[in-house]
Structure 1
Amino acid sequence: MVSIGAVVRRIRAYSGQFLLLAALTLVATLVISGVPRIVNAHAEQGLRAHLGAAPAQQRDVTYSTGPLLAKSDGYSPVAARQRDLATLEAGMPPVVRGLVEQRWFTAETAASRLSGPDLAAKNLLVHLGLRTVSGIETAGTLVEGRWPADASEDQPVQVALAVDVARKLNLRLGSRLTVAPPETPEPLPPLRVAVVGLFQPRDAADGFWDGLPPLLRAVEPVGDGEPFIAVGVVDGAVLNRQAADGWTMSFSWRYRMGADGIDVRELDQVIDGVQQLTREAEGRNIVQGLDIPLGEFAAEVDSARTVLGVIAAGVLATLAGLVVLAAGLLVRRRRSEFTLLRARGGAATTSAGRSLTEALLVVPPAGALGWLVGGLAPGAPGGTLWFAVAATVLVALALPVATLVASRGGAGRRDLIRSRPSARRLTVEAGLLVLAGLAVVLLRRRGLTPGEVDPLLVSVPVLLAVAAAVVAMRLYPWPLRLVSRLAARARGSVAFLGTARAGRSVVAVPLVVVVLAIATAAFCAVTAAGIEASRDRAASRVVPADALILGDRIAPDTGAELERLPGVRAASPVLYEAGQRLAKDAIGTETRLGGVTVLMVDGPALARIVRESGVDVTVPAALLAPAGGGGPLPAVVSPAVAAELADAGLDGSAFVSAQGQRYEFRVAGQAESFPLLRAESSRFVVLPWQSLPRRDYAAVPTGFLVAGDDLDGEALRRAGDAGQSRFQTGGAVTGRERPRGVELLTFADTRRQVGEGGANGVLAFGFTAGAAGGMALGLLAIAFTVLAGARERGQVLSRLRTLGLSRRQWRGLLLVELVPLVGVSVVTGALVGTVLPLLLTPVLGLSAFTDGVEVRVAFEPGLAAAVVALGALALGFAVAVEALNNRRMRLGEVLRLGEEN
């Protein structure tokens, strides 16, 4: 019969050790319960930001019809079609239907010839379509007049126009117009129209105004004799009458989707539901781009969860090791109690049963408390209840298992003998090394499915860390023994005694735990540094300078204007043209090869820009050719273009067009990618601007690279706009309208965009928590190591103090004894954490966080300094723990209390 009171008294007697076991249980269940919630919260926040940054039209699902003859008696075709707005939404999959935030219905006529005195005054040819749009009164603001209403049949149809459309077409409030009817078997009278209102959008970029033809502007003619295309807003009743008269109508139903209705745990179901809409359009045309940003985000989340699985495996394995250390420490403190039980006739299971009873009173409540505290974290639950239950059960069983193992061993002082590992243990360790190697090879060959908790993936880091710890455990005593022999010949006893004790210490489990913890922290630090460096390369691929100005054609003297601006150190022109054809000769003989993108850069100037800006870009030597050289231009081309030119025998001389001029070039180098080009560009030719031959019409820049400090973005933009205007108005033929403003990209903004949004918050949380948790658990494991040998060291210290050992010498002895263990543990863990990214990065899909740039992990000099600092911190922590423990134990009483004299 088990007495609960006796169990409680034993727990109180060893309250410190049981409290430690309960704390580890609480931390484990807290991690299992709370971390998935925090990850889901970061993912939901990232999804809202990701969809918010996507263009509005990409978040819309639009159903539409072609021109229909909606003529029918006795009902309103526009109202009937508008009721389909709710019908179509009701037919959506539930996961998609919950995303709908806004909805709009549109009905319109085809554009027909428009005439009137105001148009004739400017000799304008215009076709006008009539459209009714639900919600336009909310999305638009009247500048003049009123919104259209229904009018009697003898009155002109009331129409409202966008302010820019009216200005472009020379129309105003009160303009009277005539719309030609469509061709029908029975001729229809023309439709009289009056402009009763002019409006402008509240927010032109909110996506409400998307549609073809657009409401907010008149479409320019594409050639001579072609009309302007414009759209006017009318009341729905007008279209009902036109349909009754035989006018054809087109209808569309548009739904704006929002991120607030998306459960990040059901992201795959949402994507499947959106794609299901396309398959079930029921005869209507459907346009949607929602699955694209959702798919991009899902790829990032899957990759982030894969990385988090690796980190979680390291953290939980470290916690498991700490539980083993805590259970072993508790059993060691109670070894005399269990020995007495055996001496009184108790079986080995008696002690184990007593330990299990005690564990059941301590561990489950701690596990439940950790689960409840973790449940307070923000975010949706991760469905990890059974994992928490399993962890609690395993911790509860750790104590009785440790008791059984301890009952089979002797009570002698193992630090006084040099133990030799048994053949069974050596076989297990060798098998562990082989298993770790096979797991790495299998993982690299097989790959993995991102987003899933792959048992092989999460086991590889743990296996490698344990294998490395085993190797270190077997190797590090050998140099210590050599040092001990040398110390024996020297004066003083501190070095000899410290190295002798360190060489004989049994540190298998503590060493493994510390290596696991430090390896997890190092993996997080090294991988995060590799991702940051890859993001820098991704940003420099888009903007290989401090700033980039892009436009149509910019006057060449703009470079000098830019260099006179405050903070600008250098400016270099670039020319970009896509869709150019390769030719065999100067007259343009077709090569029948695919189109290419042509990029012209001033090689020496680009090298200076790159150097001044400090970006990670290498300018190929072929583009640094000096000016004035004859023959074909040395060009850097993509491998696909190089292969095609070589097969055609044109790699030594081929021609490519740029701005209407043909330039002869030869293949002088190849590159998989090049700055200023899109990541997916696989067909390009890069020419050196400084080597271009003289032509009647010189190449005109389409952009400028700028290097400088504290750049004024508005000043750069004004200089670029002025350069465009000078080029357009400086020739014999000038443009009709002011050119579109230049686009200004800065490296800082581009770099920030690459590193923000999406699932980057999830990844950042994982790396931060993994690095901090790994270091904290590593220090805790070192503290356990110190406490595990505290009684034996206390006895040795008491004897040595009676022989005249000073307090300073005692600290030196402790340092000499702990430095090998701490140093080997930290260095081994750091090496494993550095090697892990090299092995795992190819299968983790981290390029989803670097704009498609491959993540390359390299040695960071700061890692060596961090390892030294962490080792010093760990050593200082170990000495502090030892000093605190000795003060609590009162070293003068250790010899009287100890029974192992």
Structure 2
Amino acid sequence: MSIGAVVRRVRAYGGQFLLLAVLTLVVTLLVSGVPRLVNRLAEQGLRAQLNSEPAARRDLSYATGEAPFTSVKTATGAARERFDALAKEMPPQVRSVVTERWHSVETMPGRVTGPDLAARKLLVDLGLRVMPDVQDNSTLVDGAWPSETYIPERPIEVALDADVAGKLNLRPGSQLRIGNVDDKGAMIDPVPVAVSGLFRPTDRASGMWDGLPPALRITEPLGDGQPLIVVGVVAQSTFNKRAAEGWPIRSDWRYRLGVNSIDARNLDQLIDGLQTMQRSTPPDLTLTQGVDVPLRAFAAQLNAARTLLAVIAAGVLATLAGLIVLAATLATRRRRAEYVLLRARGGAATAGARRSLAESLLVVPVAAALGWWLGTLFPGAPDPTAPYAAAVTVLVTLALPLATLAVPTGGAARRDLVRLRPSARRLTIEVSLLLLAGLAAVLLRRRGLTLGEVDPLLVSVPVLLAVAAAVLALRAYPWPLRLVSRLAARTRGSVTFLGTARAGRSAVAAPLVVVVLAIGTAAFCAVVAAGVDASRDRAVERTVPADAIVRGERLAPDTLDAVSQLPGVSAVTRVADEPDQRLAADALGTDARVGPVQVLLVDGSGLSAVSRESGVVVPLPAVLRSAEQASGPLPAIVSPAVAADLTRVGLDRSAFVSVQGERYEFRIAGSQDTFPLLSEGAGRFVILPWQALPARTTEPVPTSLLVAGDRLDAEALRQAGDQGQERYLRDGTVTGRERFLGATVDTRDGVRRDLGDGGANGVLAFGFVAGAVGGTVLGLLAIAFTVLAGARDRGQVLSRLRTLGLSRRQWRGLLLVELTPLVGTSVLTGALVGALLPLLLNPVLGLSAFTGGVPVRVAFEPGLVAAVFALGAVALGFAVTVEALNNRRLRLGEVLRLGEES
């Protein structure tokens, strides 16, 4: 078999081999390029999530307690050795992503006094800190750096940040005294201190300044009568001398993980390394780190997204495999006479297969290599997918020879004149397939899966169910068509009768299966995307059951009126949230011994008004809306766990709970699993109606305000919340307490945007879009194959009917009647499979990581039903167009003259 002959045959059947080559290229392109693109999107999502966090969140901080230094080494030298040793002891996966590190040694803040401080009546505590490389990362603006030459009689020289010194009325040369104070405020063993110089950092955002207490700003006092805390930089020699004299010191070593050094593919290993560090922390050190929280959240999203992508990829690749089989089958069917003649001339049974193999080897590997190379151009880190691409190349190369072996060698037959009955072997295979699909679905639900891994059972169940549904559709849809054909036979005209009769006898098993696979994949993506979107809306409405929520620690009662007067505000209501409250058995406070609960005070009528104005549906029980002040226990809505505990101890009719220092009696008026404003994991809570609280000496104050309105100004709401907290701090019944944190404002639109944009949502959105678009396009291509599979037979029938007087209009009607059942059945079956698959797979996909913990529910929206019918109409129009173009290319008159096998 010469190469020239193979090349001539490939050129002669160029269209068929071009189709096979394009399909091969697409498969290897997906195998090579999609993992790169997914890794790229994952990296971008991880970078965005980590960059949205404070940089200090990525610090691994080791610290010692404040204690006298007892080593024979110098304090700074010992700290440096420990600094390097801790880095070497880190797990390799953690050490490899550390990009910056700093260490410092400091004394316990002591009271400082001096004329310049007294001039402004400032109460200040000063900490002395050694910061290596401080001179390289800052600029001296006045004075000099502390001298490294230790002179016993010289005061301790300290350098301060210029802004800090200005606020404290200090300058180079300012004389201070530092020491501890007794209970009466008198200084004990004061030591002279002198301000030697003032500096400014080269980069205030540098991580070296993130140590606590900060060196670049003043730490405000926590309460009345408390000192300001500042940090000054001293020389190592001076510090070592003071440490040797027994001054309590503490060391701090910080290692910052680089955003660009963390590989999204190795998050699990990095998290395991952080856990190992937590477990192996030396007893004399304290490890503080919070980077594992965003890493775990992102890893949960990424694993869920990868699992969903595996399901979508299985559907797309199975569809492509089916298309390759259809392409090989059509190619061999067109050349059936050639293979029969080859056998008739004495060729072996495998002669045709060898010829096809030679042709495939000339086309498929080249197309596969081109597809792989194009995939490498996609941005992102590669995955080890070369073995899969090689396997795909081998299988596609063998597809055409295997299809050639299956070509029947007998004579031609009029298949349109006989009713094909399935053989016992085929029935056995189909029944076995149905049983296997059902068994796999049951096993998947019972066994579950590990998110983020390609589970063979997970990727096979959707394909098996789609194939099983296609088999059932093949067996079911001819029966109503035959009934319609019988009814049409009694009417005038032949178009409906002939169309339904031919549609009922058509044998298009493989093409129909491929269409169902493709459309099922697209419908699955659409249904799951709609479910995730609807679940995010529920999560947002649960977190912010209004247009905005103002959160604080305690807000003055008049804050409600202040917020209601802001522009755009249409309704406001108050909420008080008291976590970790103990239930009592009586008014004296006897512990009920049922565990802590979260108490929520809500104004029933106010919450109803705000939710109505905001367009949010809040499941507010009627008892909370209608409750009024009356004698006896308050009606309360509790969680099932609290209801069970109170019933067990006999307190379901009367129990007591403390809210902001006042104890209230309540009874169980209802039970429900969740309630707005509570977190998803809140399993123990008590909801009380605010408007029904009995009058007390001390009335509760809100901790949050729910706001409804249009074009709300978040900054104005935040300022109103801060002012409300300040008024409560100044005019409340409890004064002189610690300073409040600033109020926060969350809008429903902002929370919804954060849920949809952050984390690994880019990977999830890519999966939905790629699956929906790819499934739709491949479905249309499969429908084209379905039409072409029977085009030759339909062409011969149409040629005879046109000779007998069938008009062009009747010809188009006949095509439409014949193709509508086939296309409609395939599209509707695929859509039904895609709609039912989420019901089966949703519990094991872990998509709640994208909805704030709210379980994802499958959403059957009217828009999806309309999209299915629109797709069916497009598919039918596409099928008729393909058939018309094919008939025009075949020239129906020549088809009739050339005979059955032309």
TM class by shorter chain equals over 0.9
State how 1:765-776 maps to structure 2 within 5 Å: 765-776=766-777
Whole-angstrom distance in 1 between the partners of 2:166 and 2:82: 36
Describe the shift of the 1:93–1:626 C-alpha distance in structure 2 as closer, same or farther (beyond 3 A).
Answer: closer
Is the Cα–Cα contact under 8 Å of residues 518 and 774 in structure 1 kept in the other structure? yes
Higher mean alpha-carbon deviation, 742-751 vs 789-798, is at 789-798
Whole-angstrom distance in 1 between the partners of 2:670 and 2:203: 48
Superposed CA offset, 1:45-103 (max 9, x none): 11112222234333111223334654677x75414533544444344344322312211
How many residue pairs are counted as aligned between the two chains? 895
The equivalent of 2:185 in structure 1 is: none
Is the Cα–Cα contact under 8 Å of residues 150 and 157 in structure 1 kept in the other structure? no
Is the Cα–Cα contact under 8 Å of residues 111 and 129 in structure 1 kept in the other structure? yes
The equivalent of 1:816 in structure 2 is: 817
Matched, 1:100 2:98: yes
Whole-angstrom distance in 2 between the partners of 1:126 and 1:236: 23
Alpha-carbon distance, 1:708 to partner: 1.5
Query: Given residue 78 of structure 1, which amino acid in structure 2 is its aligned partner?
Result: T
What percent identity do the matched residue pairs reach? 64
| Structure 2 unmatched ranges of 5 or more | 183-187
The equivalent of 1:488 in structure 2 is: 489
Alpha-carbon distance, 1:138 to partner: 7.3
Describe the shift of the 1:41–1:571 C-alpha distance in structure 2 as closer, same or farther (beyond 3 A).
Answer: same
Is the Cα–Cα contact under 8 Å of residues 415 and 506 in structure 1 kept in the other structure? no
Alpha-carbon distance, 1:409 to partner: 6.2
Superposed CA offset, 1:462-495 (max 9, x none): 0100000000100000000011111111111111
Superposed CA offset, 1:484-518 (max 9, x none): 11111111111111111100000100110000001
- Name the SS of the counterpart of 1:407 in structure 2: coil
Is the Cα–Cα contact under 8 Å of residues 222 and 739 in structure 2 kept in the other structure? no
Whole-angstrom distance in 1 between the partners of 2:723 and 2:97: 45
Is the Cα–Cα contact under 8 Å of residues 305 and 452 in structure 1 kept in the other structure? yes
Whole-angstrom distance in 2 between the partners of 1:592 and 1:623: 26
Describe the shift of the 1:822–1:290 C-alpha distance in structure 2 as closer, same or farther (beyond 3 A).
Answer: same
Describe the shift of the 1:556–1:175 C-alpha distance in structure 2 as closer, same or farther (beyond 3 A).
Answer: same
The equivalent of 2:474 in structure 1 is: 473
- Name the SS of the counterpart of 1:191 in structure 2: strand
Describe the shift of the 1:671–1:726 C-alpha distance in structure 2 as closer, same or farther (beyond 3 A).
Answer: same
The equivalent of 1:636 in structure 2 is: 637
The equivalent of 1:259 in structure 2 is: 259
Query: Given residue 765 of structure 2, which amino acid in structure 1 is its aligned partner?
Result: A
Whole-angstrom distance in 2 between the partners of 1:301 and 1:794: 52
Whole-angstrom distance in 1 between the partners of 2:181 and 2:586: 52
- Name the SS of the counterpart of 1:685 in structure 2: strand
TM-score, structure 2 as length reference: 0.93
Matched, 1:59 2:58: yes
Describe the shift of the 1:132–1:881 C-alpha distance in structure 2 as closer, same or farther (beyond 3 A).
Answer: same
Higher mean alpha-carbon deviation, 474-483 vs 690-699, is at 690-699
Whole-angstrom distance in 2 between the partners of 1:204 and 1:273: 31
The equivalent of 2:898 in structure 1 is: 897
| Structure 1 unmatched ranges of 5 or more | none
Superposed CA offset, 1:696-724 (max 9, x none): 32221122101122212222223333333
State how 1:553-702 maps to structure 2 within 5 Å: 553-702=554-703
Matched, 1:724 2:725: yes
Is the Cα–Cα contact under 8 Å of residues 41 and 380 in structure 1 kept in the other structure? yes
Whole-angstrom distance in 2 between the partners of 1:506 and 1:679: 53
Superposed CA offset, 1:352-377 (max 9, x none): 11111111111111111111111111
The equivalent of 2:9 in structure 1 is: 10
Describe the shift of the 1:690–1:181 C-alpha distance in structure 2 as closer, same or farther (beyond 3 A).
Answer: closer
Matched, 1:36 2:51: no
Higher mean alpha-carbon deviation, 339-348 vs 210-219, is at 210-219
The equivalent of 1:111 in structure 2 is: 109
Superposed CA offset, 1:805-848 (max 9, x none): 22222111111111111111111111111111110111111111
Whole-angstrom distance in 1 between the partners of 2:821 and 2:477: 8
Whole-angstrom distance in 1 between the partners of 2:525 and 2:690: 44
Higher mean alpha-carbon deviation, 272-281 vs 584-593, is at 272-281
Superposed CA offset, 1:319-339 (max 9, x none): 111011101111111111112
Superposed CA offset, 1:137-190 (max 9, x none): 67778897666554753332232456887688786765432223799xxxx964
Query: Given residue 41 of structure 1, which amino acid in structure 2 is its aligned partner?
Result: R
Whole-angstrom distance in 2 between the partners of 1:633 and 1:56: 47
Is the Cα–Cα contact under 8 Å of residues 150 and 237 in structure 2 kept in the other structure? no
Alpha-carbon distance, 1:438 to partner: 0.6
Is the Cα–Cα contact under 8 Å of residues 116 and 174 in structure 2 kept in the other structure? yes
State how 1:113-262 maps to structure 2 within 5 Å: 113-117=111-115, 127-134=125-132, 136=134, 148-150=146-148, 153=151, 154-161=153-160, 175-180=174-179, 190-196=190-196, 208-215=208-215, 216-218=217-219, 220=221, 230-262=230-262
Is the Cα–Cα contact under 8 Å of residues 63 and 284 in structure 1 kept in the other structure? no
Whole-angstrom distance in 2 between the partners of 1:656 and 1:32: 61
Query: Given residue 29 of structure 1, which amino acid in structure 2 is its aligned partner?
Result: T
- Name the SS of the counterpart of 1:406 in structure 2: coil
Matched, 1:302 2:300: no
Superposed CA offset, 1:369-394 (max 9, x none): 11111111111111111111111111
Is the Cα–Cα contact under 8 Å of residues 56 and 206 in structure 1 kept in the other structure? no
Higher mean alpha-carbon deviation, 267-276 vs 866-875, is at 267-276
Higher mean alpha-carbon deviation, 852-861 vs 479-488, is at 852-861
Is the Cα–Cα contact under 8 Å of residues 158 and 195 in structure 1 kept in the other structure? yes
Is the Cα–Cα contact under 8 Å of residues 106 and 132 in structure 1 kept in the other structure? yes
Describe the shift of the 1:585–1:67 C-alpha distance in structure 2 as closer, same or farther (beyond 3 A).
Answer: closer
The equivalent of 1:271 in structure 2 is: 271
Superposed CA offset, 1:602-644 (max 9, x none): 1222123223223353222332124234421111112222222
Describe the shift of the 1:737–1:441 C-alpha distance in structure 2 as closer, same or farther (beyond 3 A).
Answer: closer
Describe the shift of the 1:588–1:757 C-alpha distance in structure 2 as closer, same or farther (beyond 3 A).
Answer: same
- Name the SS of the counterpart of 1:180 in structure 2: strand
Whole-angstrom distance in 2 between the partners of 1:200 and 1:538: 46
Whole-angstrom distance in 1 between the partners of 2:207 and 2:80: 20
Describe the shift of the 1:296–1:116 C-alpha distance in structure 2 as closer, same or farther (beyond 3 A).
Answer: same
Whole-angstrom distance in 1 between the partners of 2:661 and 2:437: 62
The equivalent of 1:836 in structure 2 is: 837
Alpha-carbon distance, 1:218 to partner: 3.5
Alpha-carbon distance, 1:897 to partner: 3.0
Describe the shift of the 1:202–1:768 C-alpha distance in structure 2 as closer, same or farther (beyond 3 A).
Answer: farther
Alpha-carbon distance, 1:36 to partner: 0.7
Is the Cα–Cα contact under 8 Å of residues 181 and 191 in structure 1 kept in the other structure? no
Higher mean alpha-carbon deviation, 466-475 vs 202-211, is at 202-211
Is the Cα–Cα contact under 8 Å of residues 150 and 158 in structure 1 kept in the other structure? no
Is the Cα–Cα contact under 8 Å of residues 314 and 463 in structure 2 kept in the other structure? yes
TM-score, structure 1 as length reference: 0.93
Query: Given residue 193 of structure 1, which amino acid in structure 2 is its aligned partner?
Result: V
Describe the shift of the 1:71–1:456 C-alpha distance in structure 2 as closer, same or farther (beyond 3 A).
Answer: closer
Q: What value does the CA root-mean-square deviation take over the aligned residues?
A: 2.9
Query: Given residue 716 of structure 1, which amino acid in structure 2 is its aligned partner?
Result: L
Alpha-carbon distance, 1:762 to partner: 1.1
Whole-angstrom distance in 1 between the partners of 2:491 and 2:144: 103
- Name the SS of the counterpart of 2:599 in structure 1: strand
Is the Cα–Cα contact under 8 Å of residues 536 and 616 in structure 1 kept in the other structure? no
The equivalent of 1:397 in structure 2 is: 398
Is the Cα–Cα contact under 8 Å of residues 102 and 253 in structure 2 kept in the other structure? yes
Whole-angstrom distance in 2 between the partners of 1:854 and 1:733: 42
Query: Given residue 418 of structure 2, which amino acid in structure 1 is its aligned partner?
Result: I
Describe the shift of the 1:54–1:156 C-alpha distance in structure 2 as closer, same or farther (beyond 3 A).
Answer: same
- Name the SS of the counterpart of 1:635 in structure 2: strand
Alpha-carbon distance, 1:259 to partner: 2.5
